[in-house]
Amino acid sequence: MPAEPAIRIDNLAKRYAPAKGANGTVTDGKLALGGVSFDVPEGSIFGLLGPNGAGKSTLINILAGLVNKTSGSVDIWGFDIDRDRRNASRSIGIVPQEIVFDPFFTPFEVLENQAGFYGIAAKLRRSEELLEAVRLADKRNAYARTLSGGMKRRLLVAKAMVHSPPILVLDEPTAGVDVDLRRQLWELVSELNREGVTVVLTTHYLEEAEELCDRIAIINHGQLIANKPTRELVDMAREKIVAVTAAADLTAAPAHEAFVRATWDGARGVEVTYDKDRLSAGQVLGILQDQGLVIEDVITREADLEDVFVQLTGGGVD
């Protein structure tokens, strides 16, 4: 068993080499990661979020051995990726965004070939077991190109698990997958986690990250800007919303210096956003009533991960 954590990243930096343009000009090398440090706890489902171009893919490619870091250190399951790349690589399985297997192989052949790449003896291979686990046993001998998008995603998970790694990294695994297949994939991932696999997840579906992840790190412009348990991160949101339906049509949105903003739907609906450190929902309703609103219905909305993400990064996820 390794010392905790499952993954340790310390002051990781990556600067790409300068590029030469068509007109002969040389641009500075892009700084993709600027000294990122965090740990992934063993046995957790860990979310890695950030806007497009934040550095997430570069970090995952460093873990996968596809990109060389500029400086810093990375330990995977206790193995330094520089001093012991072989054992580090055997300790991690990567599920990429792209569909990467030969479309003319069957699912069984895809897994057998991958096991061969890791030098796993035929009698020790788990291809049949993995096909059962990802619900593809009935597609064992079908050409991979005939599988649906969701089936291909599940086959990628099985492919990443052929060498029984204790860590599984999923890079946008549900991109382009419908709601039902997303649910099936998350059931599979949750089952693997219950069996002891540490999961690292990137996703642009923030509600998924909020529901699934024990802890979330957010990267923006190559810098780590948050790393907290999910509930603690969501609680960082300062703003809350009170949605009010008035008893009669309004002529404008209510205004008050204590409100962050107020929006009006052109009829009887008003949404007031307020800073929970300054006001309570009751005080907001009191201000509206003092302004003459007769309130027919009230709904309050708690902050969610998307609110925090936008607050921290100033934009939406990719």
Distance, in Å, from the CA atom of 263 to the CA atom of 271, rounded to the nearest integer, reads 5
What phi and psi values does residue 188 have, to the nearest 5 degrees? -65, -45
Which range in 49-58, 66-75, 150-159 is most confidently predicted, on average pLDDT? 66-75
42-46: average pLDDT: 96
Task: Among 3.30.1360.30, 3.30.70.260, 3.40.50.300, 3.30.499.10, name the CATH number for the domain at 42-62+81-217+228-234.
Answer: 3.40.50.300
pLDDT reading at 318 higher than 70: no
- Alpha helices for the chain (secondary structure H): 56-64, 85-90, 107-117, 127-133, 149-160, 179-194, 206-212, 230-234, 281-290, 305-313
pLDDT score of 243 more than 90: yes
Domain ranges of the chain: 42-62+81-217+228-234, 239-302
Question: Residue 80 has what pLDDT?
Answer: 96
Q: What is the residue-averaged pLDDT of the chain?
A: 89
Q: What are phi and psi of 131, to 5 degrees?
A: -60, -40
Residue 198's DSSP bridge partners are 167
What is the number of residues in the chain? 318
| Torsion of the alpha carbons at 272, 276, 279 and 282, rounded to the nearest 10 | 70
Give residue 315's pLDDT: 61
**What percentage of the chain exceeds 90 in pLDDT?**
64
Phi-psi map region of 271: left, alpha, beta (phi>0 left; psi -120 to 50 alpha): beta
pLDDT of residue 179: 79
pLDDT at residue 85 greater than cutoff 60: yes
Residue 45 has pLDDT above 90, yes or no: yes
**Model confidence, pTM:** 0.79
Please give the average per-residue pLDDT across 5-34, as a whole number. 85
Q: Please compute the mean of the pLDDT values over residues 260-272 and round it to a whole number.
A: 92
Mean pLDDT across 31-48: 95
**pLDDT greater than 80 at residue 2:** no
Region 58-64 average pLDDT: 94
Q: Is pLDDT larger for residue 310 or for residue 175?
A: 310
Percent pLDDT > 70 in the chain is 96
Per-residue pLDDT tens digits for 131-153: 998 889 999 999 988 998 888 88
- pLDDT at residue 1 in the model: 44
For residue 252, pLDDT over 80 is answered with: yes
Answer whether residue 234 shows pLDDT above 90: no
Lowest mean pLDDT among 2-6, 55-59, 189-193: 2-6
Pick from 84-98, 197-211, 304-318: least confident: 304-318
Name the token pair of 172. Answer: 């946008």
Q: In this model, does residue 3 exceed pLDDT 80?
A: no
Q: How many CB atoms lie within 10 A of CB 209?
A: 25
Q: Which CATH number fits domain 239-302: 1.10.3470, 1.20.5, 2.60.120, 3.30.70?
A: 3.30.70
The answer on pLDDT for 302 being more than 80 is no
Task: Categorize the per-residue pLDDT at 316 as very low, low, confident or very high, splitting at 50, 70 and 90.
Answer: low
Q: What is the mean pLDDT of residues 118-127?
A: 94
pLDDT at 71 over 50: yes
Q: How confident is the model at residue 317 (pLDDT cuts 50, 70, 90)?
A: low
Does residue 87 have a pLDDT over 90?
yes
